[in-house]
Chain A
Amino acid sequence: MERENNTYTGGRRYRNDDITVYWKPDACVHASYCYRELIEVFDPGRRPWVDMNGSTTDRIIEVVNMCPTEALTWKWNDEEKNKDISPDQTNHVIFRRPELLIEKEKVLEKNPVSIKIMMDGPIVIKGDFTFKYSGNNKEMKDGIISICRCGASNHMPFCDGTHRKIGFEDK
């Protein structure tokens, strides 16, 4: 595995022979799909936290595509192959497992807001909604917020990943 500073995304990148995974920490909302699905590759307790030798390229792509933000994205190392990527092979377009699907069709049809309870983690809210917090009203357009559910975040009301440190368990 090779890690290097990445001027392209402003984050970091991790490569294997086939693909490069880009990591933008500022975009992470701690939805935690990555490490729940593939701790062998994405281990927040390890440095560096991404180990591209931990699984197959196909599996890494599958899990990166589950990321609900652009915190994790990927590209083929062979630029020619990137020209042939179809929409369903990139992030944000499909989640391949039905139980992870965020009701894309319904959002397009009726515009409901998606409220997803992450396992032992935050509430991830996506869509168009009014966000009321401390007397403020903020109009969210295709927005995404992640709200602490463990009670221990240092960045209330938002999730900052502390649930993992304190071992929050949703019983």
Chain B
Amino acid sequence: MATDANNKSFTIVEVIDGGPLKITGNLILKDPKKEISDSPAEVSLCRCGRSCNKPYCDESHKR
């Protein structure tokens, strides 16, 4: 199986201008303070510091 080639760039970490950090693919998300340990296929993380649902983005950056 050519899994190595398929896995290349499988996970994408994208900085959205004026928005969150969007991560898709093969990932493990850990937040000890919020007791989160998860492997979502896609997640948007707050970068502005204002989300009411940290570490996740709740679109507060637009307000």
Which residues in A have some Cβ–Cβ distance to B below 8 Å? 99-100, 102-103, 106, 110-117, 119-120, 123, 125, 127-134, 139-140, 145, 147-152, 157, 168, 170-171
Tell me which of A106, A114, A117, A120 has the highest count of chain B C-beta atoms within 10 A of its own C-beta: A117
CB-CB under 8 A from B49, the residues of chain A are 149-152, 168
Select which of A120, A129, A151, A168 is within 8 A of B13 by beta carbon.
Answer: A129
B15 near A147 with CB under 8 A, answer yes
Is the CB–CB distance between A132 and B15 below 8 Å? yes
Assess whether A112 is in contact with B26, with CB atoms less than 8 Å apart.
yes
- Chain A hits for B50, CB < 8 A: 151
Query: Contact: A123 with B21, CB < 8 Å?
Result: yes
Interface of B is mostly: loop
Question: B47 contacts A147, CB within 8 Å?
Answer: yes
With an 8 Å Cβ cutoff, the count of chain B residues facing the other chain is 33
Whether A131 contacts B13 by the Cβ 8 Å rule is yes
- Identify A115's interface contact among B8, B17, B43, CB under 8 A: B43
Alpha-carbon separation in the docked complex, A131 to B31 (Å): 21
Interface string of B6-37 (1 = CB under 8 A from A): 01111111110100010101111111111010
